[in-house]
Structure 1
Amino acid sequence: HLADLELATTRLGDGTYGVCERCGQPIAIERLLARPTAQTCIDCASAK
């Protein structure tokens, strides 16, 4: 989980935190509150 936290910190710094890595759409605030290290929106996460 440390790697996930480090990645989230990096994404905060480069302005990509809260943006889905797969589709580029914003990640819902509810998802980020529940899972702060989420890298994908719920739609992309569900499509695995």
Structure 2
Amino acid sequence: MHAELTASLAAIDAALVRIVEGGYGVCLRRGEPIGRERLEARPAAELCIDCAREA
């Protein structure tokens, strides 16, 4: 449980950095926009749904 919370906090921190740097909502693998529905479901998502499925 502690590891899951730590991972969640790290993902949120990384998302906050992407917001500040202007890269929030952009897939880190493809460089394309992440779909709105995905970001609503997982606000800290780093990958679009297609890349997340491939991982």
TM-score (norm 1): 0.96
2:5 matched to 1:3? Answer: no
Q: 2:32 aligns with which of 25, 31, 36?
A: 25
Following the alignment from structure 1 to structure 2, what is the Cα–Cα distance between the partners of residues 46 and 22? 12
For structure 1, list consecutive stretches of 5 or more residues without a partner in the other structure.
Answer: none
Report the identity percentage. Answer: 52
Q: 1:47 offset after TM fit, Å?
A: 1.0
> Larger Rg: 1 or 2?
2
C-alpha RMSD of matched pairs (Å) = 0.5
Query: Where does residue 15 of structure 1 map in the other structure?
Result: 22
Q: CA–CA distance in 1 between the matches of 2:54 and 2:44?
A: 18
Partner of 1:39: 46
Runs of 4+ that moved beyond 3 A:
none
The one-letter code matched in structure 2 to 1:28 is G
